[in-house]
């Protein structure tokens, strides 16, 4: 009863085994969906670029979405994207064309990823995040609600360069990140900050404009009185080190290389 | 002609008298809708939790929405919510699971209420407001467009504690409220503020970080040259004291207790 | 195959020649759509005011949308709007009642225009912009993602007065503009600013509260080492001076008057 086979496949679509697709969802030409994925009602996968409406010879770029995804209702994923396994979205998330999103990522309700973006593995973009073209996020980067990244320093211009945010960094809610800014590894950007200059590894920055406050390794948890960062030692839910601890996971990964 | 009976009721749904439901709207199991409510097109009421997709024995928590509501198109209200009468939403509002919303509240277009939230009576959340889990709003709290509340002081962690905002306070557009912050009664948070510490009753705070500016009882109206706060003496539209004035309403309520 | 004639026209609708309309899109009474316009799936054009639900004698105000528009999916345009030619929207844009929008404007994904707004020609509102009632934008005003404008200085009150932003000004991402503020011509508001006082022509302002930083004519491009503003000499894509240059276009326009 959950899925009524009232979706629409347009053109050449490759659907894996045990994929379930909601009502009114449209999957366009040249889309591949991995096994066991769920695409809820009213989604669009492989949304064509606007040329589609004006050029009869338009061909849709290839779109690939990995296995075990859960794409919630009203999500729109444009053509030309490559997205890994275990991908999740909230409601009404949009992902424009030609982005690459790794494995185990999530994109929250009403978040808007503008295309030509690179997102690593295990990134979590919460609700209503805006990521402009040519932004790069490493792995385990969490971006909290309402964060806005930018890509044009002298608008309007013909140069677009988004932020580059490295592994494990946390961008708190309501922050604005200026174009081309590099935020190093293991950083914490405080809520409501406006980041106008590069941030070194292990920095807490805060304010408008954001200033260095302290090394994150000096921040105490608000759960206990102990030091909280690097957070990988204290937060494991959904992380690949959930069962073994972060250090064991790191050495396992090093051995694997 | 307005309502074509092309909606979907799934499972055990209790619809009051004179309820009108739009096309393609889906109402899931264990939802109650009060009399005379209108649910426009493309809404989802009682949206199941994600376990629904993976567990055949999933049962949907009870959802109750009071009478005389107007829920605009594309609104998604999860299962497990209890919402009072005269509730209104804009387009595409989302309310996650297990929240309690009082009577005469409104939630604007694209606002996202994340669940486990308590909202009193006569609260107005305008467009694009983000309310995280475990936030508490009193009565007559107005939250203006783009306000972001937060609930994790050392993200990511396992402790979530949202703000607590008391009766009559006004949170102006684009503000960010930090986790666990208490904003007292009759406060005014200026537009674009980042509130990082508790705010005493009757305070105007503003800036990033927000600082105390003055007692709200010293603020003049921009409509006239007279003092404007507490606003209940100068703004009555839609308020329960609309016909009798605030003082009369207060003493009526005291007598009723 | 792109358009399946599965849309709904309700009442008296005037559709131009070669207009294409997507599935499930609803066009209400007293709407005119200009020639060659495309309205994608799941849009609503001429959305009635809430009185529609309660008053059987309700009549829908006239809505006019010019030729050559591209309105993307899930956009909701209320009744009573007048919109020029070459209008474009992203997904899920909403435009409330009784606004006037000139020619060659675009409104991005999830942006929310609240009604009684005046927008000139060639304005670009990017994703997730909030424009409240009684805001006025001139011509060639670009508003970047997540900008929030406001219209009540002592909320809640009965006076609403939005900002007035003059020709060519650029409002960078994540800014908040206070009620009734006038931003002159050729200004640049830095990302994440909170603009609390009027801004003179040719000013760069930045910060919270926004302060004057420098004359925009002193800002160098980040594409080259040369001065970038007024931007009309360096950015032409989609502008009416694209083929002839800004000065030639200005004198052509002066001759035409």
Structure pTM? 0.97
Distant-in-sequence, close-in-space partners of B140: CB < 8 Å, separation ≥ 6: B120, B121, B122, B123, B167, B168, B232, B239
- Please name the member of A24, A73, A222 whose beta carbon is closest to the beta carbon of B159: A222
pLDDT digit string, tens, across residues C40-73: 999 999 999 999 989 999 999 999 999 999 999 9
pLDDT for A221 equals 95
- Which tens digits make up the pLDDT trace of C81-126? 999 999 999 999 999 999 999 999 999 999 999 999 999 999 999 9
What is the residue-averaged pLDDT of chain A? 96
Which pLDDT value is given to residue B1? Answer: 44
Residue C10 with chain B: CB contacts under 8 Å: 1
- Average pLDDT value for residue range B207-224: 96
Q: Rounded to an integer, what is the distance from CA C223 to the centroid of its chain?
A: 27
The b-or-e profile of C118-139 (16+ CB within 10 A means b, else e) is ebbbbbbbbbbbbbbbbbbbbb
Mutate to test the interface with C, among B222, B228, B229 (most CBs of C within 10 A): B222
Report the alpha-carbon distance of residue C126 to residue C135 in Å, rounded.
16
Tally of helices (H runs) and strands (E runs) in chain A: 2, 30
Position A257 scores a pLDDT of 62
Q: How many Cα neighbours within 13 Å face the side chain of C176?
A: 31
- CB contacts of C207 in chain A (<8 Å) are 208-209
- Which chain A residue lies closest to B52 (C-alpha atoms)? A2
Q: Quick: pLDDT tens for B31-76.
A: 999 999 999 999 999 999 999 989 999 999 999 999 999 999 999 9
> Mind listing the pLDDT tens digit of every residue in chain A (257 residues)?
478 889 999 999 999 999 999 999 999 999 999 999 999 999 999 999 999 989 999 999 999 999 999 999 999 999 999 999 999 999 999 999 999 999 999 999 999 999 999 999 999 999 999 999 999 999 999 999 999 999 999 999 999 999 999 999 999 999 999 999 999 999 999 999 999 999 999 999 999 999 999 999 999 999 888 999 999 999 999 999 999 999 999 999 887 76
Q: Taking the alpha carbons of C247, C250, C256, C257 in that order, is the dihedral positive or negative?
A: negative
**Residue B203 has what pLDDT?**
98
Q: Quickly state the pLDDT bin for C257 (edges 50, 70, 90).
A: low
- pLDDT, tens only, A49-58: 999 989 999 9
Distance from CA of B63 to the nearest CA of A (A): 19
C49 contact partners, CB below 8 Å, separation of at least 6: C58, C61, C78, C79, C80, C97
pLDDT band of B4, cuts 50, 70, 90: confident
Determine the Cα–Cα distance for residues C113 and C115; give it in Å rounded to an integer: 6
Under 8 Å CB-to-CB from B32, ≥6 apart: which residues? B13, B14, B16, B62, B63, B64, B65
**pLDDT over threshold 60, residue C1:** no
Q: How much is the pLDDT for B257?
A: 62
Instruction: Out of C41, C110, C192, name the one closest to residue A176 (CB).
Output: C192
Please give the share of chain C, as a percent, with pLDDT higher than 70.
99
Compare CB distances from B157 to A173, A207, A223 and report the shortest one's residue. Answer: A223
CB contact set of B89 (below 8 Å; sequence gap of 6+): B70, B71, B72, B75, B106, B107, B108
Contact C128 B127 (CB under 8 A): no
Mean pLDDT of C160-180: 98
Look up the ipTM and state it.
0.96
Q: Are C193 and C165 in contact (CB under 8 A)?
A: no
Residues of B with CB under 8 A from a CB of C: 1-2, 20, 24, 38, 41-42, 70, 73-74, 90-92, 109-110, 127-128, 142, 144-146, 170, 172-174, 188, 191-192, 207-208, 219-223, 228-229, 231, 234-235, 237
The answer to whether residues A125 and A143 touch, using CB atoms and an 8 Å cutoff, is: yes
- Compute the distance between CA of residue A43 and CA of residue A23 in angstroms, rounded to an integer: 9
Indicate which of C176, C210, C211 best probes the interface with B, i.e. most B CBs within 10 Å of its own CB.
C176
C-beta of residue A136 within 8 angstroms of C-beta of residue A118: yes
Instruction: Name the residue in chain B with its Cα closest to that of A124.
Output: B156
């Amino acid at each position: 009863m959950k899925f009524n086979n009232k979706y629409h496949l347009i053109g050449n679509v490759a659907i894996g085994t045990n994929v379930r697709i909601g009502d009114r969802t449209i999957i366009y030409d040249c889309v591949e969906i991995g096994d066991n994925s769920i695409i809820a009602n009213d989604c669009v996968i492989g949304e064509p670029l606007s040329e589609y409406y004006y050029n009869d010879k338009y061909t849709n770029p290839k779109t690939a979405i990995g296995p075990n995804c859960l794409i919630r209702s009203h999500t729109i994923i444009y053509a030309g994207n490559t997205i890994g396994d275990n991908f999740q979205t909230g409601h009404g998330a949009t992902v424009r064309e030609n982005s690459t999103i790794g494995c185990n990522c999530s994109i929250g309700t009403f978040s808007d990823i503008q295309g030509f973006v690179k997102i690593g593995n295990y990134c979590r973009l919460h609700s209503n995040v805006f990521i402009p073209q040519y932004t790069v996020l490493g792995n385990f980067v969490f971006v909290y609600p309402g964060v806005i990244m930018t890509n044009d320093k002298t608008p309007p211009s013909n140069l677009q360069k988004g932020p580059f945010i490295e592994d494990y960094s946390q961008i708190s809610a309501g922050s604005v990140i200026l174009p081309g800014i590099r935020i190093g590894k293991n950083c914490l950007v405080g809520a409501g900050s406006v980041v106008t200059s590069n941030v070194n590894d292990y920095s807490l920055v805060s304010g408008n404009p954001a200033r260095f406050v302290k090394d994150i390794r000096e921040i105490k948890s608000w759960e206990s009185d102990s030091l909280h960062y690097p957070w990988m030692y204290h937060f494991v839910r959904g992380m690949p080190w959930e069962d073994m601890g972060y250090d064991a996971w790191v050495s396992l990964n090093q051995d694997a290389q």
